[in-house]
A and B are shown apart, each in its own frame.
Chain A
């Protein structure tokens, strides 16, 4: 691990940025004297000052707190969906790859069908049934989000299945479950980890986009996307209200992407592979 880190500035900067943002997202809403939804009619559209670092919005709410409360939601959506999609994708893909033949064909075509429908449609439908909220968004993103990973896992398992070590294990009488989970999957860990990491910024971006077009988290809760959306009408009067959440969203997505790319580089180098 140490060796990976020392020579990989991308990974280091990504992890440091991410750690700082996670820390801020956890601490600031907890420690700030201003609750996330507290309004103050006397202090509307205030510019940045010492008491309100990012100023206030048209309700007189502190933008600094709201931005980092929004970061919490973005992080939760990103990591939550990566975990769910990761689990589903690994299980589904490895089952298809390991079984092969007709089962593989059926499983992968079913996945293609699910993947063919855009996630926006899923989210809108789920919103109608379950109402707006973080759960609906998570479910909407995850319904189709695991398919890409499942394809990668399936390919890896198919490749490894025909390797000598696998045949050897099988000859020694190793059962299916053990062969898959102890011998095959750990060997495919590199590409899986990289792909799961890349799911995080994708989910964050989808959430911000959905909130921006108005089918996201319901008011007055604030995700970074809703904050940008709310600042739209004030853009000519107080442009900074839109600038801060956008900056934080950019840095957040950048940090996760850097981490993903850094991991990809390190693992690729460690395995000596050409990808």
Chain B
């Protein structure tokens, strides 16, 4: 009797195990056909297009929000929230006609008010929007931002629900390129009123007009986007769900890919390149970005152009990139190495000679001339950088090179990413790491950063001649002359005044499961876009 009972128990236990296994397996197969998990960097900033945003928003918005229009890989216009546009001859009045069938994920129509909602909120300085200055081409936008006039006089008109008109201060040839920026994307006026009341991360109020909407947001851990079945172009969207998981560092991302925890991991360290070389998983892309250092002009002796030039000339960027990894390429330009000139199709920076050449002898001479022969009496400067491995490696190499070449000491201070951003914004640093990934496909995205009124100008640059040159390039309609002016402005800021210390540009090393297809690269920034991704079923 006892024996039968135990045998029965054993059989039923095995049965339960087997059955349990079956259901689980079935579920996995079902899920894996329509869902991808993407690894992204730690949480920074919010999801409100008019608020303080950083990497997390950029990951969210490419899947969840539709801008008015964008450009595809061949440079052709791709209409998204708008279905057509008109522009007057002077290119100062731009009229967009919105899609009448477009709705938010809660079913309410997307109207022109939703677009002006973002713009008006972003122009309030308390919004903390780092992109507000990209609204300044609009008439009266800068005055509204500075509180000199009220939002009523702004050059944004909404004659009816489906017409949106921008009146510009002066002609702007790259206005269409700007439209993909956060401040030009809509935020639903029914929910999005303030920047700080948390509507942006609450799935109930954070509605989307793009192919996916926010379903769940767990701070510091992950967020889930689900397919927006009400999307006007929903038939083209194959995925049901995208989960973004936050990772503190690249190594844990790579590990998560290795163990199958995530399907896509982007921006990995260069050792992954060696490891996955020759496999279908590895996907290397050019990022339109420049890593550079801001020397704080309010700190002695960095206010001396000779000192800044000496620092620039004493860094051996070839050696730096060799150590930091195969995914970096030295640059002495501010405008990203891989940014293309739309007219010529060539890399923009190749259109002029390099701003300067590295030269250790000259650097030593300049430092002596500035009053610090052989680094004597030079104060110990602190270099602030976020605790990312690439930046930590860079910091150590630069510290060693400056010690060797100029005999000056640099103190390293690794900071948590968010702390680093805040301190940089507040201008509390001697030297600070900076990275700029292009927001739109025009060199103006770089040049505008060093303008006296730019929100990203954190090192106290006030140069009237530079401002004048950039402004001139901004209104120039002839592409050749415009490029010339932009080269001149870059030469002034980088090659004469040495306002920044450019270091390198990066390739992005990504791992993507070979059975996921349709991931596109956004030409303007080099970032990946998942809205048209789909999975190929493998025949096992």
Bound together: yes
A residues adjacent to B (C-beta < 8 A)? 37-39, 41, 44, 58-60, 131-132, 214, 218-220, 232-237
**Inside 8 A of A39's CB, which chain B residues have their CB?**
323, 396-397, 400
A151 to B286, CA, bound (A): 61
B218 CB, nearest partner CB in chain A, Å: 22
Interface membership of B233, Cβ < 8 A: no
- CB B121 to nearest CB in A, in angstroms, measures 33
Given A236-B271, A237-B271, A44-B392 contact (CB < 8 Å): no
Cβ-defined contact, B396 with A218, below 8 A: no
Determine the distance from Cα of A234 to Cα of B389 in the docked complex, in whole angstroms: 11
Q: Which residues of A contact B319 (CB under 8 A)?
A: 41
Residues on A with beta carbons closer than 8 Å to the beta carbon of B407: none
**SS of B interface (majority):** helix
B454 within 8 A of A: no
With contacts A39-B400, A219-B395 known, is A233 near B251, CB below 8 A? yes
CA–CA, A38 and B396, complex, Å: 10
Asked whether, in the complex, the Cβ of B412 is within 8 Å of the Cβ of A219, the reply is: yes
Distance between Cα atoms of A157 and B512 in the complex (Å): 66
In the bound complex, residues from chain A placing their C-beta under 8 Å from that of B412 are 218-220
> Is there contact, CB below 8 Å, between A220 and B399?
yes
- Asked if A233 and B389 make an inter-chain contact with CB atoms under 8 angstroms apart, the answer reads yes
The distance in angstroms between the C-alpha atoms of A58 and B400, with both chains bound, is: 14
In the bound assembly, the distance between CA atoms of A42 and B145 in angstroms comes to 52
Within the complex, what minimum Cβ distance (angstroms) separates B293 from chain A? 16
Contacts of A132 in B (CB 8 A): 413-414
**Contact of B250 with A233 in the complex, beta carbons under 8 Å:** yes
Residues of A contacting B387 in the complex (Cβ-Cβ under 8 angstroms): 214
A182 to B245, CA, bound (A): 63
Contact call A44/B396, Cβ cutoff below 8 A: no
- Given A41-B319, A220-B396, 19 extra CB contacts under 8 A: A58-B323, A58-B393, A59-B323, A59-B396, A59-B397, A59-B400, A132-B413, A132-B414, A218-B412, A219-B414, A220-B400, A220-B412, A232-B251, A233-B269, A233-B271, A233-B389, A234-B271, A236-B271, A237-B274
- The complex places the Cα of A58 from the Cα of B320 at a distance, in Å, of 11
- B248-272 interface (Cβ within 8 A of A): 250-251, 269, 271
Q: Which of A58, A234, A235 has the most CB of B within 10 A?
A: A58
Residue of A whose beta carbon sits closest to that of B250? A233
Q: Is the CB of B393 within 8 A of A59?
A: yes
In the complex, whether B322 has a CB less than 8 A from a CB of chain A is yes
Nearest neighbor of A42 in chain B, beta-carbon distance: B322
B29 within 8 A of A: no
Whether B269 lies near A41 (C-beta < 8 A) is no
Check A44–B271 contact: CB distance below 8 A. no
- B5 an interface residue at 8 Å Cβ cutoff? no
**Closest chain B residue, CB of each to CB of A128:** B419
Tell me the minimal C-beta distance from A90 to chain B in angstroms.
37
Cα distance, A132 to B415, chains bound together (Å): 10
**Residue B275 at the A interface, CB < 8 A?**
yes
User: Could you tell me if B399 and A41 are in contact, using CB atoms closer than 8 angstroms?
Assistant: no
Which residues of chain A are within 8 angstroms of B393 by Cβ–Cβ distance?
Answer: 58-59
Query: Taking CB as reference atom, which chain A residue is nearest B389?
Result: A233
- Contact A218 B414, CB 8 Å, known A37-B400, A232-B251, A236-B271: yes
List the B side residues contacting A237 at CB < 8 Å.
Answer: 271, 274-275
A-chain residues with CB within 8 Å of residue B251 when the two chains form the complex: 232-233, 235
Give min CB distance, A42 to chain B, whole Å: 9
**Residue in A214, A219, A232, A234 whose beta carbon sits within 8 Å of that of B396 in the complex:** A219
Residue of A nearest to B390 (CB): A233
Most buried by A among B271, B274, B397: B271
